[in-house]
């Protein structure tokens, strides 16, 4: 009688596959929940081009939100959801996978430099690869462009502006996204190092602790990279090459900081 065969081992996905799956799920959920804020942000950033004559015409977040709901419709707050999903879901998955591969050699939490470098490099690559979807997303969310579908938007931009149009704003996008992700991942990993020893990863309080770490890291990274985000939006809403290089993009950031006041 043949000996019984050993029970088959259940398939366990590797860490990279786990990063892809978790990135896809988190990217989808966050996109549905936060898309209205992204639409409002785009409308806010695209109100003027920095000329003093247009500074007084800007309106704040509350009025923009009210105008969208009253003058358009509530579903406008989710305008651009399709290109955002095409950008965010694979983007977050690839970013998590890249960060894992770049920090896999470290024992425990990565150090300041390794965490910042991993976030920077991974996000820079993702930002460049998915730039066309970022351009379409920004134009969908604004009031300046009207497309019937994602395919029609990509086709129209390619026909009228060429490949340069599909990658417009990439300089400022990388200047914004790469430092943001580098700073975020660095602050997040360092904040997690302060986890109380008595706090187990199975405790409900651990989830709150992680949320707190992510919130602090996100606020700091956003404050540092916000000027680049404004430049990126304005680059992607124009078909002219008004920002021709990274250096020029940085110059435009300093110009915005010196001429425009924040709106609320």
Structure confidence by residue, pLDDT tens digits, 180-218: 999 998 888 888 777 777 777 677 777 788 888 888 888
- pLDDT bin (cut points 50, 70, 90) of residue 109 is confident
- 229 or 106: which leads in pLDDT: 229
Q: In sequence order, what DSSP letters do the residues of 226-250 get, joined into one string?
A: HHHHHHHHHHHT-SS----SHHHHH
Percent of the chain as helix, strand, coil, to the nearest 5 = 70, 0, 30
Q: How many whole angstroms separate alpha carbon 124 and alpha carbon 61?
A: 29
Residue 73 falls in which region: left (phi positive, over 0), alpha (psi -120 to 50) or beta = beta
Q: Are 128 and 170 in contact (CB under 8 A)?
A: yes
Instruction: State yes or no: pLDDT of 255 exceeds 60.
Output: yes
Which residues have CB under 8 Å from 104's CB, separation 6+? 15
Whether pTM exceeds 0.75:
no
The whole-chain average pLDDT of the chain stands at 80
Position 160 scores a pLDDT of: 92
- pLDDT bin (cut points 50, 70, 90) of residue 1 is very low
- Residue carrying structure tokens 């985000």: 229
Q: How many whole angstroms separate alpha carbon 135 and alpha carbon 149?
A: 14
Position 121 scores a pLDDT of: 94
Domains annotated on the chain, with CATH: 15-50+58-259 (1.50.40.10)
Q: Are 87 and 158 in contact (CB under 8 A)?
A: no
Position 234 scores a pLDDT of: 77
Structure confidence by residue, pLDDT tens digits, 216-252: 888 988 888 888 788 777 777 765 544 455 566 566 6
């Amino acid at each position: 009688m043949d000996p019984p065969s050993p029970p088959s081992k259940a398939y366990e996905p590797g860490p990279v596959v786990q990063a892809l799956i978790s990135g896809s799920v988190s990217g989808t959920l966050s996109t549905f929940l936060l898309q209205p804020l992204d639409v409002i942000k785009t409308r806010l950033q695209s109100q003027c081009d920095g000329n003093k004559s247009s500074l007084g015409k800007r309106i704040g977040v509350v009025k923009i939100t009210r105008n969208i709901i009253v003058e358009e419709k509530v579903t406008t707050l989710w305008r651009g959801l399709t290109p955002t999903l095409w950008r965010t879901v694979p983007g977050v998955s690839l970013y998590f996978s890249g960060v894992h591969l770049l920090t896999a050699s470290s024992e425990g939490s990565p150090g300041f430099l390794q965490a910042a470098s991993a976030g920077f490099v991974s996000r820079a690559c993702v930002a460049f690869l998915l730039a066309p979807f970022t351009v379409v997303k920004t134009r969908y969310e604004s009031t300046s462009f009207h497309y019937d579908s994602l395919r029609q938007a990509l086709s129209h931009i390619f026909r009228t502006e060429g490949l340069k149009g599909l990658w417009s704003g990439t300089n400022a996008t990388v200047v914004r996204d790469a430092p943001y992700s580098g700073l975020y991942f660095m602050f997040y990993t360092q904040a997690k190092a302060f986890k109380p020893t008595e706090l187990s990863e199975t405790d409900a309080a651990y989830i709150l602790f992680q949320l707190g770490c992510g919130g602090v890291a996100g606020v700091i990274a956003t404050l540092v990279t916000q000027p680049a985000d404004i430049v990126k939006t304005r680059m992607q809403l124009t078909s002219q090459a008004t920002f021709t290089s990274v250096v020029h993009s940085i110059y435009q950031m300093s110009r915005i900081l010196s001429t425009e006041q924040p709106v609320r």
